């Protein structure tokens, strides 16, 4: 049925991504409702308990995807207040509902107004107030809680995040794609200050690329800048992985990894930290192809880069990923000599546009598929 739905939704000729990714979410709409106030007890002047409130609480390491899974109906309701009774004149307050959200969330109401910012761990925002309990002022009838639909927007660092081991040529690449020298971005919700390069297109579109520094093998286990780095990879729409065509060695104590192994190692680091990062559309840049013998080396490994699953057996166990990254594009470049840079900037734009298009369509498919499951004919 899902297959059929997809076929109907995606017109012929329009390519459906060959592998269906689960979605990276950077925006989520939730309908929040405070609990209903409890009824009062007119005879003895008893007051109903106030309904519970809905709060958003920022927490490090939480993702919008998690919130979406926890509240699959996209509705959050706090508990009603207790009715007043002979044994409890003042009804108890309804239980609050606390929704844990990622740090760096902007809360937007239905009119498009920003009504809250959750930029620090532990920060709380009251999303919906509970209804007042019944009392003499309201004829002892408990009132409904506040109800509204809010959008949780995850603040992004940039459209694309540049991921690579040291010395791969990230800064050089950033300079090559942005006319002005990269800016150091300072965000209130992050501790790192990524270098930000802005790509200017002839039609005045601008796309931002952030160099997220400090990834080394073991980052998932918080070695080096570890988690500080990885948690910011979440805040970009697409990933650009960059590797040195001749490989990389962090220090004499570390193994020398060839180009292909570097790709597996980057894949492994992302996977170990959070495998949903691999769901983001990604581009692989193989850098330093101006060096002697680099073109031949790229031609030699090109097919292996396109079919990572085939090289898995020969991949050292400590960097062997379980879930493989799937690149939308694999491009050889020389960041220093600015070779292949135009192809990269067009690819970034195309991949971002494809991702945006897919994001628009995919939820429809999911909803339709669910509805079909709920109401469609039973297949036994």
Ligand X SMILES: Nc1nc2c(ncn2[C@@H]2O[C@H](COP(=O)(O)OP(=O)(O)OP(=O)(O)O)[C@@H](O)[C@H]2O)c(=O)[nH]1
Which range of residues in 118-126, 288-296, 358-366, 370-378 is near ligand X by CB under 6 A? 288-296
Tokens 């050292």 sit on residue: 316
Cα R_g (the chain), whole angstroms: 26
Contacting ligand X within 167-186 (CB under 6 A):
167-172
291 lines the binding site for ligand X (CB under 6 A):
yes
Q: CB 291 → ligand X: shortest distance, Å?
A: 5
Residue 212 CB, nearest approach to ligand X (Å): 10
The residue nearest ligand X at its CB is 169
Binding of residue 290 to ligand X (CB under 6 A): yes
Q: How far is the CB of 299 from ligand X (least distance, A)?
A: 17
163 in contact with ligand X (CB under 6 A): no
By CB neighbour count within 10 A (0-12 exposed, 13-18 middle, 19+ buried), where does 375 fall? exposed
Structure tokens at 132: 């007042």
CA-CA distance, 250 to 151, in Å (whole number)? Answer: 43
Stretch that binds ligand X, among 9-17, 28-36, 66-74, 283-291 (CB under 6 A): 283-291
The residues, any chain, with a CB within 8 Å of residue 275's CB and separated by 6 or more, are 323
At 14 the three-state DSSP class reads: coil
Instruction: Select 28 or 216, whichever has its Cβ closest to ligand X.
Output: 216
CA 287 – CA 338 distance, rounded (Å) = 10
Of 38, 39, 288, 348, the one binding ligand X by CB under 6 A: 288
What strands lie across the sheet with 236-244, from one edge to the other? 183-184, 195-200, 206-211, 158-163, 236-244, 282-287, 327-332
Q: Does residue 226 interact with ligand X by CB under 6 A?
A: no
Straight-line distance from the first to the last Cα atom of the chain, in angstroms, rounded to the nearest whole number? 13
Task: Retrieve residue 342's tokens.
Answer: 């135009």
Nearer to ligand X among residue 52 and residue 194 (C-beta): 194
| Between 55 and 298, CB nearer to ligand X | 298
Draw the binding track, 326-365, toward ligand X (x: CB under 6 A; -: no contact): --------xxx-----------------------------
Angle, nearest 10°, between helix axes 226-233 and 259-273? 90
Q: With respect to ligand X, which residue has the nearer C-beta, 174 or 365?
A: 174
Residue 213 contacts ligand X per CB under 6 A: yes
Residues that bind ligand X (CB under 6 A): 164, 166-172, 213, 287-288, 290-291, 334-336
């Amino acid at each position: 049925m899902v297959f059929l739905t997809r076929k109907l939704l995606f017109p012929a000729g329009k390519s459906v991504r060959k592998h269906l990714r689960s979605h990276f979410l950077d925006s989520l709409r939730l309908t929040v409702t405070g609990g209903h106030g409890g009824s009062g007890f007119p005879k003895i002047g008893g007051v109903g308990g106030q309904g519970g409130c809905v709060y958003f609480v920022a927490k490090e390491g939480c993702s919008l995807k998690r919130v979406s899974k926890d509240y699959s109906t996209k509705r959050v309701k706090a508990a009603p207040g207790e009715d007043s009774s002979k044994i409890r004149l003042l009804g108890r307050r309804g239980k609050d509902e606390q929704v844990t959200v990622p740090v760096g969330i902007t809360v937007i109401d239905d009119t498009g107004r920003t009504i809250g910012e959750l930029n620090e761990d532990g920060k709380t925002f009251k999303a919906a107030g509970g209804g007042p309990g019944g009392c003499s002022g309201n004829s002892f009838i408990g009132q409904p809680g506040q109800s509204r639909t809010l959008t949780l927007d995850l603040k992004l660092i940039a459209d694309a995040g540049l991921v690579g081991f040291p010395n791969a040529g990230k800064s050089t690449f950033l300079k090559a794609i942005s006319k002005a020298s990269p800016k150091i971005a300072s965000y209130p919700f992050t501790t790192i200050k990524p270098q930000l390069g802005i790509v200017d297109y002839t039609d005045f579109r601008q796309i931002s690329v952030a160099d997220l520094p400090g990834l080394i093998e073991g980052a998932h286990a918080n070695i080096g800048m570890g988690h500080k780095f990885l948690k910011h990879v979440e805040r970009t729409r697409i990933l650009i992985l960059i590797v040195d065509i001749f490989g990389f060695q962090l220090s004499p104590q570390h193994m020398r990894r060839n180009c292909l192994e570097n790709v597996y190692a980057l894949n492994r680091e992302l996977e170990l930290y959070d495998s949903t990062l691999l769901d983001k559309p990604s581009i692989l840049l193989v850098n330093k192809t101006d060096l002697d013998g680099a073109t031949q080396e790229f031609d030699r490994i090109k097919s292996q880069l396109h079919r990572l699953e085939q090289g898995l057996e020969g991949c050292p166990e400590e960097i062997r990923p379980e879930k493989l990254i799937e690149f939308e594009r694999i491009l050889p470049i020389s960041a220093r000599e600015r070779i292949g840079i135009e192809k990269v900037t067009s690819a970034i734009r195309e991949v971002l546009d494809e991702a945006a298009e897919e994001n628009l369509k995919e939820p429809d498919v999911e909803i339709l598929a669910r509805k079909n499951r709920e109401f469609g004919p039973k297949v036994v």
